[in-house]
Structure 1
Amino acid sequence: MDMKRVVVGLSGGVDSSVAAYLLKEQGYEVIGLFMKNWHDDSVTISDECPWLEDSNDAMIVANKLGIPFQTVDLSEEYKERIVDYMFREYERGRTPNPDVLCNREIKFDVFLKIALDLGANFVATGHYCRKDTVTKDDKTIHRLLAGKDPNKDQSYFLCQLSQEQLAKTLFPVGELLKPEVRQIAKEQGLVTADKRDSQGLCFIGKVRLPDFLQQQLKPKEGVIVEVPENSPVFNGQSATDENKLLTESKKFVYTPQDGKVVGKHQGAHFFTKGQRKGLAVGGTKDPLFIIETDVDNNIIYTGQGKNHPGLYRKGLFVKQDEIHWVREDLKLNEGETMEVQARIRYRQPLDQATLHQTDNGLYVLFANPQSAITEGQFVAWYNDEELLGSGVIS
């Protein structure tokens, strides 16, 4: 190999440290780059400044490996593409996934462009996923595969990447298990060997989400309504074939008359479906779960217990312009279906599902009812260990 240049996103964690080490061992010319992302001290839970500590660790690792290192400040792009987007989504009563966006918009877009400007052939990260390349009809196709470590597979977070982005990306730790990564770091005397995995949002560390959101979204008192599990709302209409997709994917619609007021809250836009904590309502036999938030009328609907029928649906819908195929060659045409495995959140076991492409979007129908299907989150679909595509749940 003629010394291909790789820019590694050194985050100050063990995974990216080992990624840099492995690439150097494989003969690449490696450059370490730390991304300083948007940071706001007013909403972080602890006094420590995570990005300073992380950039320092990244610099120590680069030093140890004998590779050039620099910090790039991406705060502005972060605020614009991730933070502002989050505020907008919460305001609409949707729950965004900043980690998926951060990969699509920052690490594999803004950061990738910086790397290419530095004359790099590739960027690399410490993600637990794999990539391979196949040829089909004389075309090169990059496949995004789950990481070898089933407990750490992070392919879901990369579900919005394109063929162009994958072509320029390497995932050096994807073939390893986490304990193996830590072992390599120990053997190489890397300062990050025993460092705990980072928690919290991809750009601001551990935060109190309501505090973060309250900077732009004002508190507004509303009521919490508890809907009993035997409510007529859940009887629904029987689904004929034509409206089966519609019926199975439709949200339950509640009115205050469907239950009783059991408490107050400070703004429906601070809460999300499936949430249990933060309601401050006591005295129920089973814990209350949020089954719906109505931001227009500022009402939170809840149900008792994690098996409440209001939490479950078999189907979901993705609008046409929010469907994304990693494998563009497998894209469905109107009227076509595809059997896949799918998940609606990170670390959720894959479940059998069928994709139905219609003229206005994509229906995803699961074999089993799914708990807390949440608008704004991503559904990702797979064929065995290959991630084929994803979409924003509508």
Structure 2
Amino acid sequence: MKKVVVALSGGIDSAVSAFLLKEQGYEVIGATMSFWDDIALASSWCSQGCYGPQEEENIKSARQIASQLNIEHTVINLIKEFKDIVLSYFISSYMNGKTPNPCVICNAHIKFAAFCEGIKRQGLDFDYFATGHYARKNYDNELHRWQLLKGKDALKDQSYFLCLLNQEQISRALFPLGERTKEEIKQIATDIGLGFLREREESQDFIDSSVYPYIFPAQAFTAGEIIDSTGKVLGYHQGLVNYTIGQRKHLGISGMTEPYYVVGIDAKHNRLIVGPIKELYKDRLIARDINWVSIPDLKEEIRAETKIRLAHNAALGTLLPFSENRVEVRFDEPQLSITPGQFAVFYKGDLLLGGGVIE
């Protein structure tokens, strides 16, 4: 009997994943990550993100799930690893005028790496590691390579978040929900007595912006100029960490003949650049630190779709080798709000080719 560890978050997706794997004959162990540091940080946060004091409720729910499924459960302390890797990345990105995607970093370096190592340190050996991601995998015999594919449910596909996984991580990963829809998962949960999970709110964000003062240094909130593309001063911001490309609300400027959006962030001079929506459309980008997933490398230009954020409909264009571990993407049609710091993820239909950071 093969042994699989399921990352139990306390939510419906990972719970049903554990159930499905048990039904398939695996020996299932549930494990939950703990990375909330309520000693070093304020414990009065009211956060709906995945990082916050609600972790205690998540662990409690995971234990209840494990009990009902009659599987072993363990909690792995990853406070130091999470702070050193994910939080430091999150903070430094914003401090440098970039918009981070901590979920992508967390999956590659925490969930599929430090978490698995922590489980083994507890003496639990396992053959596979499973999550509740809506994604699929495949082995290409010609390329001798593991590949990632979009989940069957297009509205729930989460392959984007897995773009930094390496071959070893994918080889031992299981995605039990990849071939199913969210509605199917909800029905299964109800049928097996876990219907109460349908009422639990799913975390949509990493962290609430209201708690930024607790994790960012004071200089992150230094006031600076809000300018247009000509350099004209239109107002003043209260810290660049509060803004991202494409943002319209809470700019604190008025008197424009049309709506203005954040079109650029100049961290070096502590300036926020704003302009009309037409200035948000760009027809190309450069992505760096590319992790090729389903293909070994990019030797020549190819046609592919590129997703510039999770909620973006992947847009058709041409990928061109640019320089060492960089790719230029030339879109067929200009795209709205290409944001430095976010991840560009490349697809050929359902096949995830690879991804990297928008430079």
Task: Using structure 2 for the length normalisation, give the TM-score.
Answer: 0.91
How far has the Cα of 1:367 moved from its partner?
Answer: 0.9
The answer to whether structure 1 residue 131 and structure 2 residue 98 are counterparts is no
Q: What is the alpha-carbon distance in structure 1 between the residues aligned to residue 200 and residue 61 of structure 2?
A: 10
More moved, 110-119 vs 66-75:
110-119
Q: What is the alpha-carbon distance in structure 1 between the residues aligned to residue 9 and residue 264 of structure 2?
A: 36
The answer to whether structure 1 residue 122 and structure 2 residue 121 are counterparts is no
Partner of 1:223: 225
Q: Say whether the 8 Å CA contact 1:87–1:217 is kept in structure 2.
A: no
How far has the Cα of 1:96 moved from its partner?
Answer: 1.1
The answer to whether structure 1 residue 58 and structure 2 residue 62 are counterparts is yes
How far has the Cα of 1:207 moved from its partner?
Answer: 4.3
Q: Say whether the 8 Å CA contact 2:94–2:100 is kept in structure 1.
A: yes
SS at structure 2 position matched to 1:95 = coil
More moved, 189-198 vs 101-110:
189-198
Q: What is the alpha-carbon distance in structure 2 between the residues aligned to residue 368 and residue 221 of structure 1?
A: 36
Partner of 2:354: 389
Partner of 1:296: 268
Q: What is the alpha-carbon distance in structure 1 between the residues aligned to residue 157 and residue 189 of structure 2?
A: 19
- Which amino acid in structure 2 is aligned with residue 379 of structure 1? A
Q: What is the alpha-carbon distance in structure 1 between the residues aligned to residue 169 and residue 125 of structure 2?
A: 16
SS at structure 2 position matched to 1:365 = strand
Q: What is the alpha-carbon distance in structure 2 between the residues aligned to residue 290 and residue 43 of structure 1?
A: 31
Equivalent residue in structure 2 for 1:287, among 259, 269, 285: 259
More moved, 42-51 vs 373-382:
42-51
Q: What is the alpha-carbon distance in structure 2 between the residues aligned to residue 67 and residue 389 of structure 1?
A: 35
How far has the Cα of 1:116 moved from its partner?
Answer: 4.7
Q: What is the alpha-carbon distance in structure 2 between the residues aligned to residue 211 and residue 326 of structure 1?
A: 37
How far has the Cα of 1:296 moved from its partner?
Answer: 1.2
The answer to whether structure 1 residue 142 and structure 2 residue 146 are counterparts is yes
Q: 1:108 to 1:302 in 2, by over 3 A?
A: same
How far has the Cα of 1:327 moved from its partner?
Answer: 2.3
Equivalent residue in structure 2 for 1:327, among 285, 289, 294: 294
Q: What is the alpha-carbon distance in structure 2 between the residues aligned to residue 296 and residue 358 of structure 1?
A: 25
The answer to whether structure 1 residue 270 and structure 2 residue 276 are counterparts is no
Bigger CA radius of gyration: 1
Structure 2 segments unaligned to the other structure (5+ residues):
none
Q: Say whether the 8 Å CA contact 2:139–2:147 is kept in structure 1.
A: yes
How far has the Cα of 1:276 moved from its partner?
Answer: 1.6
Q: Say whether the 8 Å CA contact 1:381–1:390 is kept in structure 2.
A: yes
Q: Say whether the 8 Å CA contact 1:11–1:54 is kept in structure 2.
A: yes
Aligned length: 349
Equivalent residue in structure 2 for 1:15, among 13, 37, 56: 13
- Which amino acid in structure 1 is aligned with residue 32 of structure 2? F
Q: What is the alpha-carbon distance in structure 2 between the residues aligned to residue 363 and residue 212 of structure 1?
A: 37
Once the two structures are superposed, the pairs formed by residues 94-133 of structure 1 within 5 Å of their partners are 94-116=98-120, 118-133=124-139
Partner of 1:248: none
Q: What is the alpha-carbon distance in structure 2 between the residues aligned to residue 218 and residue 226 of structure 1?
A: 21
Partner of 1:314: 283
Deviations 1:362-386 (A, max 9, x none): 2111111111211111100011101
Q: 1:207 to 1:36 in 2, by over 3 A?
A: farther
SS at structure 2 position matched to 1:84 = helix
Q: Say whether the 8 Å CA contact 1:269–1:295 is kept in structure 2.
A: no
Q: 1:135 to 1:79 in 2, by over 3 A?
A: same
- CA-atom RMSD, angstroms? 2.0
Q: What is the alpha-carbon distance in structure 1 between the residues aligned to residue 44 and residue 219 of structure 2?
A: 14
Deviations 1:190-241 (A, max 9, x none): 142332211220xx5x4426435534544211111234xxxxxxxxxxxxxx
Q: Say whether the 8 Å CA contact 1:87–1:216 is kept in structure 2.
A: no
Q: Say whether the 8 Å CA contact 1:14–1:194 is kept in structure 2.
A: no
SS at structure 1 position matched to 2:154 = coil
Identity across aligned pairs (percent)?
Answer: 40
The answer to whether structure 1 residue 353 and structure 2 residue 357 are counterparts is no
Partner of 2:329: 364
Q: What is the alpha-carbon distance in structure 1 between the residues aligned to residue 350 and residue 220 of structure 2?
A: 43
Q: What is the alpha-carbon distance in structure 1 between the residues aligned to residue 157 and residue 45 of structure 2?
A: 27
How far has the Cα of 1:358 moved from its partner?
Answer: 3.1
Partner of 1:251: none
Q: What is the alpha-carbon distance in structure 2 between the residues aligned to residue 97 and residue 34 of structure 1?
A: 21
SS at structure 2 position matched to 1:358 = strand
Partner of 1:344: 308
Equivalent residue in structure 2 for 1:26, among 16, 24, 27: 24
The answer to whether structure 1 residue 86 and structure 2 residue 55 are counterparts is no
Q: What is the alpha-carbon distance in structure 2 between the residues aligned to residue 226 and residue 44 of structure 1?
A: 35
Partner of 2:46: 45
Deviations 1:10-66 (A, max 9, x none): 001100000000001001000001101234436833599310111000000000000
Q: What is the alpha-carbon distance in structure 1 between the residues aligned to residue 107 and residue 215 of structure 2?
A: 21
SS at structure 2 position matched to 1:136 = coil
Q: What is the alpha-carbon distance in structure 2 between the residues aligned to residue 85 and residue 221 of structure 1?
A: 23
Task: Using structure 1 for the length normalisation, give the TM-score.
Answer: 0.84
